[in-house]
Amino acid sequence: MAIRNYKPTTSARRGMTSEDTSQLTTSKPTRSLTRNINQKHGRNNQGRITTRHKGGGSHRLYREISFMLPKDYSGVIEHIEYDPNRTSHIARVKSSDNRYRYILAAQGMVVGTKIKSGDEVAIEVGNRLSLKQIPVGSVIHAIELTPGNGAQLVRSAGASAQLVARDDKYAQVRLPSGEVRFISVECSASLGVISNEQHQNVSIGKAGRNRRKGIRPTVRGVVMNAVDHPHGGGDGGRHRMAKAPRTPWGQKTLGLKTRHNKSTNKYIVRSRHASKRS
């Protein structure tokens, strides 16, 4: 996918880029595969803000994605579509019994591409197999963590993982972060790399585009009052913070471990931090 550039007709246009949507084949989703979603604006069920800088944004319908395909499934891709709820593109698939599904589109998928799911299908982009049937070294995406629960890993634009080793019970998969992890060989995954790989290279260009995405402004702590942030206060001069970077509630941010799931530590062969140090 290419990046679309604009002429600098205004200050906001200068340097702004967007996705080239020429490979998308339709502009409207299939109504039976969509539903309305309530905008939470970063709030929980008590109305308290748990994720800051969220609110507003354009109205959008949620596309029902099939993160798990039935065994012995076969279908043909009819459309490649834009999904405002995720970074990757999606593909509308029509099965042999004339039922429609949305799946994550992989690089190389075009209208007319046939996809299959099962243990005896060909090793081709878009096909979905269990990890015990995928050759070691293959590039995969949309990986299950628990058999039958649907894809939970490697679902964003341009992402891919690699199957690096396998035994009778577990497969070792290298994730996009560099982490190497044990995953049951009964879990399924799709072959190939997820589409829209240039998404990370898009330059927003102006604040209005983020507001339409439901992202509100972020204010630096050093320009706040002392009552609002640990970095705030001062005489108006351009001072640096006097302590290590902290959240508005005083918790350290840099170097603070945020993963506290001891029950799954045994499945991590090599952490993402170790992979960056090597």
Residue 223 — φ and ψ, nearest 5°? -100, 5
* Whether residues 125 and 156 fall in one domain: yes
Torsion on CA atoms 236, 242, 248, 250, rounded to nearest 10:
-150
* Whether residues 151 and 80 fall in one domain: yes
* Whether residues 8 and 98 fall in one domain: yes
Residue 45 in domain: no
Q: Is the pTM of this model over 0.75?
A: yes
Number of domains in the chain: 2
Minimal CA–CA distance to 133: which of 189, 201, 207?
A: 189
For 172-211, write each residue's pLDDT tens digit. Answer: 999 999 999 999 999 999 999 999 999 999 999 999 999 9
* Whether residues 249 and 137 fall in one domain: no
For 137-151, write each residue's pLDDT tens digit. Answer: 999 999 999 999 999
For 90-121, write each residue's pLDDT tens digit. Answer: 999 999 888 999 999 999 999 999 999 998 89
Domain interval for residue 105: 3-40+56-200
Mean pLDDT across the chain? 92
Residue 205 in domain: no
